C-alpha cells in the first residue's frame, strides 16, 4: 500500500512538473505581459493617428488651389458649350453653302448678292472671308457662331463700323428655318484663307490703270446696243439690273443717280478722269467716288464678277449716248408725282379702291424693281425690316407731315418716297419708280390695304 501511494505521488509530481514546464512558455510568456502591451500599443497609436488624420483633411484645404483652375475653364465653356455652337456644329456646311447662294424670290436677293465669300472686301455688306476671326471680337460675350446667328436674325442689333443700318433684310427668319440658318453659320465658319476677290482685283487694276494713264479709251469693238441689253437685264449674281436703280431718261434719282446726260457730268466728277474713265471706274469700283448726298455701299461692288471687261465697255459706250436731254427730266415725275401740282390738297381714297387687290400687289415681286413691297416692309409688325414696319401705319402716318392726312402721306410715300424720310432711315433705299410700275388705281389699292393694318 505504501508502495502504491509512493508510486502515485511520484506520478502526480511528474504530472505537475510536466504541466509547469508547459505553462511557462504558453501562459507566462504569451498571455500575461504581451496582452497588456498589445492593448496599450493598440489604443495609443489608434488615438494618435486620429490626430494625425487632420493633416489628411488639410489637403482638402489645399484642394482650394485645385479649384482655382475652374475659372479658367468657365470662359472656354461659355463659348464651346453654347447651345448655338452645339447646334451649328451638328449642321451640314454643304447645305449652308447652297442656301447662301440661292436667290430667294420673296426678297429678290441671295446672301451672296451682298457678301463676298472669297474676300474680306465690301460688296454691299462686309466680305465674309475669315469672318470667324473677326466675329469673336464684335460683341463681348459672344462667340463667332452666336454673333453670326444674331447677325442673321437681328441684323440691326450690331452694325459693323462704316456700314449703313437697315440695308440688310431683317426677315431671314421668315425665309429660312432655324436649322437652315445654323447650316449657313456652319458654312460661314469654314471661310478661311487669303483674300482674293476677282471684283476687288479688277477694281484695283482699273484704279491703278486710271491713276497712271488718266484716261480709259473705249475699244473700237465697244457695242452700245449690247450695252443697253446688258443694262436692262436682271443679273441673278447681283440681284439687280442696272436699270433697277438708275433712270436713263432723267437725271432724277431712282435709287442711284439718273444717268441722262451722264457724259457731261462724268467728266467733271474726279480731277484727272475723263468721262470714260469715270464711268468705267464707277461700275467696277463704285465706292471710289460717291456722288454727294448718296450713301456709299448701296451699289453692288461685284459688277466686274458679273460682266467681262468687254461687256463693261459695252455698257460705258451705251451710257455716253444718253445725252441731249433736259438737264433734269421731270416728265416721269409729272406723270407719277400726283402728289405735286396736280394733286388735290387732300387725297381721299376712291370708292373703287380695293384693299384685297392691294394686299396682292404688296406681296407681288416686281421684276422692274427687283422687289416686292413686302421685301422691305413687315405688314404684321412695326419693327424695321429694311424699311419701317407698317402695322398701325395709319396712326403714325397722320402725324408725319403737317397738313397731310394718313392717305395723303401713304400715297406720297409710294410715289415720291424721298419727299419725307422717316428719321433714322437712309434716303434712296426705296425705289422711286413705283408709279412707273403701278398705275394710280393700283397705288390706291395698296394704300387701301395699308390702312387696314391694325
Give 195-210 pLDDT, tens digit per residue: 654 433 333 333 333 3
Q: Does the domain at residues 205-329 carry the CATH identifier 3.30.420.40?
A: no
Closest of 289, 305, 86 to residue 207, by C-alpha: 289
Band (pLDDT 50/70/90 cuts) for residue 176 is: very high
> Per-residue pLDDT for 361 more than 60?
yes
Report the half-sphere exposure of 166 (CA within 13 A, side-chain side): 18
At residue 397, the pLDDT reads: 87
Contacts of 171 by beta carbon, 8 Å cutoff, 6+ apart = 107, 378, 385
Band (pLDDT 50/70/90 cuts) for residue 430 is: confident
At residue 80, the pLDDT reads: 47
- In angstroms, rounded to a whole number, what is the distance separating the alpha carbons of residues 126 and 346? 44
At residue 6, the pLDDT reads: 56
> Per-residue pLDDT for 157 more than 70?
yes
Structure confidence by residue, pLDDT tens digits, 374-423: 877 888 888 877 778 899 998 898 888 888 888 889 998 898 887 888 87
Complete DSSP assignment for 24-84:
IIIIIIIIIHHHHHHHHHHHHHHHHHHHHHHHHHHHHHHHHHHHTHHHHHHHHHHHHT-HH
At residue 194, the pLDDT reads: 80
Domain ranges of the chain: 2-67, 83-188, 205-329, 336-450
DSSP state of 233: S
- Residue 84 is placed in which grid cell? 448655338
At residue 119, the pLDDT reads: 86
Q: Burial, 279: exposed, middle or buried (Cβ in 10 Å; 0-12, 13-18, 19+)?
A: buried
- pLDDT: is 121 or 77 the higher one? 121
At residue 70, the pLDDT reads: 44
At residue 208, the pLDDT reads: 39
Q: Does the domain at residues 336-450 carry the CATH identifier 1.10.760.10?
A: yes
Q: Give the C-alpha distances (Å, rounded to integers) separating 147 from 54, 90, 113, 129, 189.
A: 51, 17, 21, 15, 11
- In angstroms, rounded to a whole number, what is the distance separating the alpha carbons of residues 441 and 446? 9
> Per-residue pLDDT for 40 more than 50?
no
Closest of 322, 309, 315 to residue 225, by C-alpha: 315
At residue 247, the pLDDT reads: 85
CATH topology identical between 205-329 and 336-450: yes
- Rg (C-alpha) for the chain, rounded Å, is 43
Q: Which of 72-86, 260-274, 431-445 has the lowest mean pLDDT?
A: 72-86
> Per-residue pLDDT for 148 more than 90?
yes
At residue 166, the pLDDT reads: 74
- In angstroms, rounded to a whole number, what is the distance separating the alpha carbons of residues 52 and 225? 100
Complete DSSP assignment for 313-341:
HHHHHHHTT--SS-TT--HHHHHH-TTST
Structure confidence by residue, pLDDT tens digits, 275-334: 999 999 999 888 888 888 777 777 877 788 889 999 999 999 999 999 754 444 433 333
Q: What is the pTM of this model?
A: 0.45
Q: What is the mean pLDDT of residues 22-47?
A: 44
The domain made up of 83-188 has a fold known as Cytochrome Bc1 Complex; Chain D, domain 2 (1.10.760)
Band (pLDDT 50/70/90 cuts) for residue 146 is: very high
> Per-residue pLDDT for 147 more than 60?
yes
At residue 452, the pLDDT reads: 93
Q: What's the whole-number average pLDDT of the chain?
A: 75
Band (pLDDT 50/70/90 cuts) for residue 370 is: low
Phi, psi dihedral angles at 28 (to 5 degrees): -70, -40
Q: Which of 9-23, 44-58, 169-183, 377-391 has the highest mean pLDDT?
A: 169-183
Q: Are 119 and 197 in contact (CB under 8 A)?
A: yes
> Per-residue pLDDT for 112 more than 60?
yes
- Residue 45 is placed in which grid cell? 497609436
How far apart, in Å, do the first and last CA atoms of the chain sit?
A: 142
What whole-number percentage of the chain has pLDDT above 70?
69
Q: What is the mean pLDDT of residues 111-136?
A: 87
Closest of 408, 365, 413 to residue 103, by C-alpha: 365
Amino acid at each position: 500500500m505504501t508502495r502504491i501511494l509512493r508510486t502515485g505521488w511520484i506520478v502526480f509530481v511528474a504530472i505537475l512538473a510536466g504541466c509547469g514546464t508547459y505553462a511557462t512558455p504558453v501562459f507566462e510568456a504569451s498571455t500575461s505581459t504581451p496582452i497588456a502591451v498589445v492593448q496599450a500599443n493598440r489604443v495609443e497609436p489608434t488615438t494618435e493617428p486620429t490626430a494625425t488624420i487632420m493633416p489628411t483633411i488639410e489637403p482638402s484645404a489645399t484642394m482650394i488651389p485645385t479649384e482655382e483652375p475652374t475659372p479658367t475653364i468657365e470662359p472656354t465653356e461659355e463659348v464651346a458649350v453654347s447651345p448655338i455652337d452645339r447646334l451649328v456644329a451638328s449642321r451640314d456646311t454643304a447645305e449652308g453653302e447652297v442656301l447662301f447662294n440661292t436667290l430667294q424670290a420673296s426678297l429678290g436677293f441671295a446672301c451672296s448678292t451682298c457678301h463676298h465669300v472669297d474676300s474680306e472686301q465690301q460688296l454691299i455688306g462686309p466680305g465674309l472671308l475669315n469672318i470667324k476671326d473677326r466675329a469673336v471680337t464684335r460683341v463681348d460675350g459672344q462667340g463667332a457662331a452666336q454673333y453670326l446667328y444674331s447677325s442673321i436674325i437681328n441684323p440691326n442689333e450690331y452694325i459693323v463700323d462704316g456700314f449703313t443700318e437697315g440695308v440688310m433684310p431683317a426677315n431671314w427668319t421668315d425665309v429660312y428655318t432655324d436649322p437652315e440658318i445654323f447650316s449657313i453659320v456652319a458654312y460661314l465658319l469654314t471661310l478661311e484663307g487669303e483674300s482674293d476677290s476677282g471684283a476687288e482685283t479688277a477694281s484695283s487694276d482699273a484704279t491703278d490703270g486710271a491713276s497712271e494713264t488718266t484716261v480709259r479709251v473705249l475699244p473700237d469693238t465697244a457695242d452700245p446696243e449690247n450695252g443697253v441689253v446688258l443694262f436692262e437685264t436682271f443679273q441673278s449674281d447681283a440681284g439687280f439690273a442696272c436699270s433697277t436703280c438708275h433712270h436713263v431718261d432723267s437725271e432724277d434719282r431712282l435709287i442711284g443717280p439718273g444717268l441722262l446726260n451722264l457724259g457731261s457730268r462724268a467728266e467733271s466728277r474726279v480731277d484727272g478722269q475723263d468721262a470714260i474713265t469715270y464711268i468705267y471706274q464707277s461700275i467696277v469700283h463704285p465706292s471710289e467716288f460717291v456722288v454727294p448726298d448718296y450713301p456709299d455701299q448701296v451699289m453692288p461692288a461685284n459688277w466686274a464678277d458679273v460682266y467681262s471687261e468687254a461687256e463693261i465697255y459695252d455698257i460705258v459706250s451705251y451710257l455716253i449716248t444718253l445725252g441731249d436731254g433736259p438737264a433734269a427730266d421731270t416728265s416721269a415725275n409729272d406723270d407719277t408725282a400726283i402728289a405735286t401740282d396736280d394733286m388735290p390738297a387732300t387725297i381721299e381714297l376712291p370708292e373703287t379702291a380695293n384693299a384685297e387687290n392691294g394686299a396682292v400687289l404688296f406681296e407681288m415681286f416686281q421684276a422692274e424693281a427687283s422687289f416686292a413691297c413686302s421685301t422691305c416692309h413687315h405688314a404684321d409688325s412695326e419693327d424695321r425690316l429694311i424699311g419701317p414696319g407698317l402695322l398701325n401705319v395709319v396712326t403714325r402716318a397722320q402725324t408725319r407731315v403737317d397738313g397731310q392726312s394718313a392717305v395723303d402721306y401713304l400715297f406720297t410715300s409710294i410715289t415720291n418716297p424721298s419727299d419725307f424720310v422717316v428719321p433714322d432711315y437712309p434716303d434712296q433705299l426705296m425705289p422711286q419708280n413705283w408709279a412707273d410700275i403701278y398705275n394710280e388705281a393700283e397705288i390706291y389699292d395698296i394704300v387701301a390695304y395699308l390702312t387696314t393694318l391694325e
